[in-house]
């Protein structure tokens, strides 16, 4: 059975697990380095990127995650997870994993009260708009050459990007009833099996 691990050290990992299991794929919690063994994909959830990165370092998981993804393990970061995957941040912290060739600005829309929802057109999931839930969300400020922009806000700023088998969304598909972005990621995972 396909296994897509969900990093479960902080943030809304449970919502991702429920969504992935609802699609018939095993979604074990990843809390320690040993939980990374034998996965077909990895999700880094929303939450607080500084805390997630700190805990990855405390539990000595940074190099393992980076190594596995560089070797081709498909990964998807939502919101804080996008920040964690970025190569560059406009902020001085945290120290991201430098995996995706994107620059990301944290809390790009202001504080918690400036959270919002917006209908998005997302490439690869069909024509119907996807309801993007943005919670103290980041935005992508620059993309490298090999990065495909899958969705933009109406002002043109990228909020969903893909580079090889790495996916990042500034919004939270796990908080909607709509599993199309999860399906997109599972298709990426299956394409690598
Ligand atoms: N603002 C958070 C951060 O900087 C991300 C928020 C979220 O994941 N919903 O990490």
Ligand 1: residues whose CB is within 6 Å? 46-49, 79-80, 83, 106-107, 135-136
Residue 3 carries which DSSP code?
A: B
Neighbour count for residue 73 (Cβ, 10 Å): 19
Task: Identify the pLDDT of residue 111.
Answer: 76
Task: Identify the pLDDT of residue 23.
Answer: 97
Residue of minimum CA distance from atom 5 in ligand 1: 80
* Strand-strand pairing, 29-30 and 75-78: unpaired
Task: Return the closest-CA partner of residue 119 out of 167, 81, 159.
Answer: 159
* Dist CA 139 CA 116 (whole Å): 13
pLDDT above 90 for 138: yes
Q: How far is CA 187 from the centre of its chain?
A: 15
Mean pLDDT on 123-151: 97
pLDDT per position as a tens digit, 54-105: 999 999 999 999 999 999 999 999 999 999 999 999 999 999 999 999 999 9
Residues linked to residue 168 through DSSP beta bridges, in sequence order: 77, 161
Neighbour count for residue 187 (Cβ, 10 Å): 12
CA of 51 to the centre of ligand 1 (A): 10
Task: Identify the pLDDT of residue 146.
Answer: 97
The ligand 1 atom at the shortest distance from the C-alpha of residue 106 is 4
* Dist CA 47 CA 29 (whole Å): 15
Tokens found for residue 63: 């190099």
Catalytic residue flag (residue 174): yes
Mean pLDDT on 171-175: 97
pLDDT-wise least confident of 78-87, 109-118, 164-173: 109-118
Task: Give pTM, 2 decimals.
Answer: 0.97
Looking at every residue in the chain, the average pLDDT score rounds to: 96
Q: Model confidence at 114, in pLDDT bands (50, 70, 90)?
A: confident
Tokens found for residue 133: 């839930």
Task: Identify the pLDDT of residue 177.
Answer: 92
* Dist CA 89 CA 50 (whole Å): 12
* Dist CA 3 CA 165 (whole Å): 16
Catalytic residue flag (residue 182): no
pLDDT above 90 for 110: no
Catalytic residue flag (residue 16): no
Mean pLDDT on 143-156: 97
> Ligand 1 pocket test: which of 15, 53, 79 has the largest number of ligand atoms within 8 Å of its C-beta?
79
Task: Identify the pLDDT of residue 59.
Answer: 97
Mean pLDDT on 131-157: 97
Task: Identify the pLDDT of residue 91.
Answer: 92
Residues linked to residue 120 through DSSP beta bridges, in sequence order: 130
pLDDT above 90 for 148: yes
CB of 73 within 8 A of CB of 66?
A: no
Choice among 15, 79, 163, 182 that is catalytic: 79
The ligand 1 atom at the shortest distance from the C-alpha of residue 50 is 10
CB of 23 within 8 A of CB of 179?
A: yes
Mean pLDDT on 165-169: 98
* Dist CA 13 CA 95 (whole Å): 21
Task: Identify the pLDDT of residue 165.
Answer: 98
* Dist CA 90 CA 19 (whole Å): 31
């Amino acid at each position: 059975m396909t296994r897509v691990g969900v990093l479960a050290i902080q943030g809304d990992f449970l919502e991702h697990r429920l969504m992935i299991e609802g699609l018939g794929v095993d979604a074990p919690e990843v809390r320690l380095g040993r939980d990374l063994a034998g996965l077909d994909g990895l999700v880094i959830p929303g939450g607080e990127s500084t805390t997630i990165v700190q805990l990855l370092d405390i539990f000595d998981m940074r190099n393992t995650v980076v190594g596995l993804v560089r070797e081709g393990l498909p990964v998807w970061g939502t919101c804080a997870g996008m920040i964690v995957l970025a190569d560059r941040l406009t902020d001085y912290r945290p120290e991201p994993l430098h995996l995706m060739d994107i620059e990301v600005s944290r809390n790009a829309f202001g504080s918690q009260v400036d959270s919002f929802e917006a209908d998005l057109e997302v490439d690869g999931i069909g024509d119907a708009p996807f309801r993007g839930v943005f919670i103290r969300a980041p935005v992508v400020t620059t993309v490298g050459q090999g990065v495909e922009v899958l969705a933009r806000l109406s002002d043109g700023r990228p909020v969903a990007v893909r580079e090889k088998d790495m996916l990042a969304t500034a919004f939270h598909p796990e908080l909607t009833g709509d599993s199309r972005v999860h399906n997109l990621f599972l298709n990426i995972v299956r394409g690598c099996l």
